[in-house]
Amino acid sequence: MNLIDRISHQFEDNMRASLEALELLAAPIAGAVELITASLLDSGKVLVCGSSGSAGDARRFAAQLVNGFELERPALAAMALSADSSSLAPIAGDPDTQALFARQIAAFGQPGDILLTLSANPDSARVLDAIRAAHERDMRVIALTGAGGGRTAETLGPADILLCAPAERIARIREIHLLILHCLCDGIDCLLLGVED
């Protein structure tokens, strides 16, 4: 296969996965937009965490809530749990970093807040611990994952929302996650600002 064919295949694979995601996830994404917006309007906040390569997307999503997406609006209460390097440092010399998101949720999470998790790996121990910690704080969870949902899907409660990218390849999962995050930002702005188009 030559390079142009490989590139074409990447684009076509992305389009197939995105169209499948649209059919499966449009309604749950709308539900997530409504859930986040209701929390923000009730003085709640959004805590965002991403495992491994998804940490950057988590930081970017939180920043877009605080600073704005495509429209001018007041800042929204959001915090990326992977952004504070002092919180991510091993605690008291303990090299186990699995519980670091969970510890931040225990410190900052309040009933009515939302936890949004991002991980291409549906069995990420750090994300699973974060979900459990959010439930202990009476927070609802929106989990973005892929590869069938795995243990993340099993750990979510009935009031939580699973946004599982219909893909196995990490590249496709992360591309769909980015599109979902953009849909969330756009939908939140639409509901808060009354945008019609």
- Predicted pLDDT at 120: 94
Higher pLDDT, 86 or 186: 186
| pTM greater than the 0.95 cutoff | no
Interatomic CA distance for residues 184 and 14, integer angstroms: 20
Nearest by Cα to 142 from 52, 46, 70:
46
Q: What is the pLDDT of residue 195?
A: 76
**CA distance linking residue 167 with residue 20, whole number of Å:** 9
Cβ-based neighbour number of residue 9 at 10 Å: 11
Q: Is 117 exposed, middle or buried (0-12, 13-18, 19+ CB in 10 A)?
A: buried
* Phi, psi dihedrals of residue 116, rounded to the nearest 5°: -115, 120
Mean per-residue pLDDT over the chain, rounded:
91
Q: Which CATH number fits domain 3-193: 2.40.30.10, 3.90.220.20, 3.90.1300.10, 3.40.50.10490?
A: 3.40.50.10490
List the chain domain ranges.
3-193
Average pLDDT over residues 32-61: 95
Reported as a pLDDT band with limits 50, 70 and 90, residue 100 is confident
Q: Residue 99: its pLDDT value, please?
A: 83
